Structure 1
Amino acid sequence: MSVRNPYQTYKHNAVQTASPGELTLMLYNGCLNFIKQARHAMAENNIQDKNTNIQKAQDIIRELMVTLNTDYEVAKSMLRMYDYMLQRLIEANIKNDPAALDEVAEYVTQFRDTWKEVLQLNRQKQYGGGVPHDGKL
């Protein structure tokens, strides 16, 4: 039996037990992390790490694209935004453009924050809880 890093074990278990909604939230957070790493690598002129991290962010955006249910109009709009973000990541990689990375990070952050709010509202609805008296979710 191999000894595993406790953090890796925790991450593995978190993914294995997450709901589809929580997995989507993890994808958004992972994308933001890879964009942040790419931006740092870009500032350090580390082309290989920049490229690797931008490609990882692109892979996440592609995964978000293929999992959309385009039967709904909002999903079609999201698909167009994901496609735009994908193109901006490609431009950022080719042109070493930190502003393009920042733009995509802002969009991903907005998607993530909205998704997080939807998850919280669904939990409240599912478990019958209203908004707490202090207004915090």
Structure 2
Amino acid sequence: MYTSPAARAAQAYSRVGAESGVDASTSPHRLIELLFDGLLQAIHAASGALARGDVAAKGQQIMRAVRFLEEGLKGGLDEARGGELAVTLRALYDYCINRLTVANLRNDGAALAEVASLIAPVAQSWKQIGPSQPAQAA
């Protein structure tokens, strides 16, 4: 059964426990915005937990960030339609997942900061392009 990228993003967003007004009427563009927001929030929360020495919270937030990447952002890519951009984003998300794993294993705040610095411009660019306009009827 085919599930659209927007539907997969909505399912992933609800699975990682993000609290928002996500419902069936939420646009696909907005869903991706929410995934980026949740990802960055989880990274910042993990950094805060690491600074406080709260290892359990750090691990939970890093796992949450990985799920945003793996199930939401990466899971919504369609390389057949997205071409080189989708391939590049997949590689970026894989790299970020790797760095988050390192951050978790080594309590590496620099790795968390690196992921945030890589994702933030992509998230900002996504917000700037705005939602796609629906096709007008002829």
Please tell me the TM-score bracket, short chain as reference.
0.7 to 0.9
> Which consecutive residues of structure 2, in runs of 5 or more, have no partner in the other structure?
1-18
Q: Which has the higher contact order (CA 8 A, sep 6+)?
A: 2
- Alignment partners' CA distance in 2, 1:118 and 1:15: 20
* Equivalence for 2:8: none
- Alignment partners' CA distance in 1, 2:89 and 2:45: 25
Identity %: 32
- Alignment partners' CA distance in 2, 1:77 and 1:38: 26
* Equivalence for 2:109: 98
Pairing 1:28–2:36 present: yes
- Alignment partners' CA distance in 2, 1:36 and 1:75: 26
Return the match for 1:52 from 37, 48, 60: 60
- Scaled by the length of structure 1, the TM-score of the pair is 0.77
- Alignment partners' CA distance in 1, 2:55 and 2:135: 47
Across the aligned residues of Structure 1 and Structure 2, the Cα RMSD in angstroms comes to 1.7
**Relative to structure 2, which stretch is displaced further, 111-120 or 82-91?**
111-120
Structure with higher Rg: it is: 1
Return the match for 1:85 from 64, 88, 96: 96
Return the match for 1:67 from 71, 76, 95: 76
> Which consecutive residues of structure 1, in runs of 5 or more, have no partner in the other structure?
1-10, 128-137
Runs of 4 or more above 6 Å deviation: none
